[in-house]
Amino acid sequence: MAEAQAKAFVEFQRVQKSYDGEVLVVKDLNLSVARGEFLTMLGPSGSGKTTCLMMLAGFETATHGEILLDGKPINNIPPHKRGIGMVFQNYALFPHMTVGENLSFPLEVRKFNKIDREAKVKRALDMVEMGDFLSRRPSQLSGGQQQRIALARALVFEPELVLMDEPLGALDKQLREKMQFEITDLAHKLGITVVYVTHDQTEALTMSDRVAVFNDGVIQQIAAPDTLYESPDNSFVAQFIGENNTLEGMVKEIKNGVALVQLDSGDLINCKPINVTKPGERTRVSIRPERVEYNKDRLKKGVHTLKAEVLEFIYMGDIFRTRLRVAGNDEFIIKTRNAPDQIRLQPGTEIEIGWMPEDCRALDA
């Protein structure tokens, strides 16, 4: 962490924000973003992620704390002098200007001459493969095209830091996935630092170098996508990122890095203790649906198994999604790949399920 701070490009130091003097929207936030990093702020609405972005852009002021950009405090610098590119949720393309004029605007206010402006606009448009749309109006473009123009406009004056506020929220699924790839690709090619805000966890996982999960004005966990998914620090992150099964119970003993948990149904299972420290604590056990095994041949010896009743089988094409009743929980989901040898579970059948102890994390209750 000390190393990260030394080369931090954007840094939040003990930042607090309140709109009404009664409720803190952002509570004691510390965050550093390295140069060239793609960091995503992920969280449900009202978690404070957009407020953080707006403070960084300069449209909101921090109630307490310091925000540093490239080592310099920027709290008192007005937005137009920060030199930060920004892509807005609804693109905010100026409707009374053509695409070319939109892109030219940041260059004009920076007093570039006409020749430079035209060259830069052309380069930025080519970058997002929209070179032919120079003289169109934003209203004549599709959502995806507008998105590209907004991106080009945020990049045209070559900022080192670009902020994106749910830029793909208004696009349909296919286009969104395509743009996710294009944005990350472009960001890495240009070497820019990106702070990206979204409430879509898939987007966060596929695009980012690191993801900061916000809830209730606090960063719950900040980590690389795979760490976040496979080793969530607490039950909020486990619930929020990806699909997750929870079973509630009490810790019986912790030995050799393995916790024995007695579920409320009385069953005993082995878990990896994450934020439980001593026997007697309540815990929520979290297991990913795709890490659950029900094929007896593949279950390792020595793992605890649980009895389960199949309630529903849903065919989803590439995967099967089966809903089970496990230890009194009717919403226990398992996902299995649609392989030729895969067993299709029939509702009503009784099976036995199990998992590797390290895939089963004992989190806070």
Beta carbon nearer to another protein, 157 or 313: 157
Residues that contact another protein, how many (by CB under 8 A): 27
Show the binding pattern over residues 129-158: x = contacts another protein (CB under 8 A), - = does not.
------------------------xx--x-
- Nearest approach, Cβ of residue 119 and another protein (Å): 18
Interface with another protein includes 21 (CB under 8 A)?
Answer: no
- Nearest approach, Cβ of residue 43 and another protein (Å): 21
Q: Which of 78, 257, 302, 340 binds another protein (CB under 8 A)?
A: 78
The letter for the amino acid at 24 is L
Beta carbon nearer to another protein, 83 or 242: 83
Task: Looking at residues 229 to 248 of the shown chain, list those that interact with another protein (rule: CB under 8 A).
Answer: none
Q: Which of 36, 65, 94, 279 binds another protein (CB under 8 A)?
A: 94
Interface with another protein includes 169 (CB under 8 A)?
Answer: no
Beta carbon nearer to another protein, 86 or 351: 86
- Nearest approach, Cβ of residue 37 and another protein (Å): 20
Q: Which of 72, 81, 298, 301 binds another protein (CB under 8 A)?
A: 81
Ramachandran angles phi, psi of 226, nearest 5°: -65, -40
Q: Which of 7, 14, 64, 80 binds another protein (CB under 8 A)?
A: 80
Instruction: Report CA-CA distances (Å) from 234 to 199, 214, 285, 287, 358.
Output: 18, 12, 10, 13, 15
Q: Which of 33, 42, 55, 57 binds another protein (CB under 8 A)?
A: 57
Nearest to 151 by CA among 101, 211, 85: 85
Q: Which of 36, 79, 169, 279 binds another protein (CB under 8 A)?
A: 79
- Nearest approach, Cβ of residue 247 and another protein (Å): 44
Stretch of 89-97, 213-221, 227-235, 257-265 lying at the interface with another protein (CB under 8 A): 89-97
How far apart are the C-alpha atoms of 173 and 21, rounded to whole Å?
39
- Nearest approach, Cβ of residue 94 and another protein (Å): 6
Q: Which helix (H) or strand (E) holds 362?
A: strand 360-363
Instruction: Report CA-CA distances (Å) from 307 to 60, 267, 324, 335.
Output: 54, 9, 10, 17
Nearest to 101 by CA among 71, 151, 136: 136
Nearest to 262 by CA among 287, 239, 283, 240: 283
Instruction: Confirm if 57 and 86 have CB atoms less than 8 A apart.
Output: yes
Interface with another protein includes 19 (CB under 8 A)?
Answer: no
Interface with another protein includes 96 (CB under 8 A)?
Answer: yes
Residue 184, SS3 per DSSP: helix
Helices then strands, counting H and E runs in the chain, come out as 9, 19
Residues 6+ apart with CB under 8 A from 103: 120, 121, 124, 125, 149, 152, 153, 156
Checking phi first, is residue 32 left (phi over 0); if not, alpha (psi -120 to 50) or beta? beta
Q: Which of 5, 46, 75, 109 binds another protein (CB under 8 A)?
A: 109
Interface with another protein includes 313 (CB under 8 A)?
Answer: no
Nearest to 10 by CA among 214, 215, 183, 210: 210
Interface with another protein includes 59 (CB under 8 A)?
Answer: yes
Instruction: Confirm if 26 and 217 have CB atoms less than 8 A apart.
Output: yes
Stretch of 104-112, 128-136, 236-244, 296-304 lying at the interface with another protein (CB under 8 A): 104-112
How far apart are the C-alpha atoms of 127 and 162, rounded to whole Å?
16
The site for another protein (CB under 8 A) is made up of: 57-59, 78-86, 88-90, 92, 94-96, 105-106, 109-110, 153-154, 157, 163
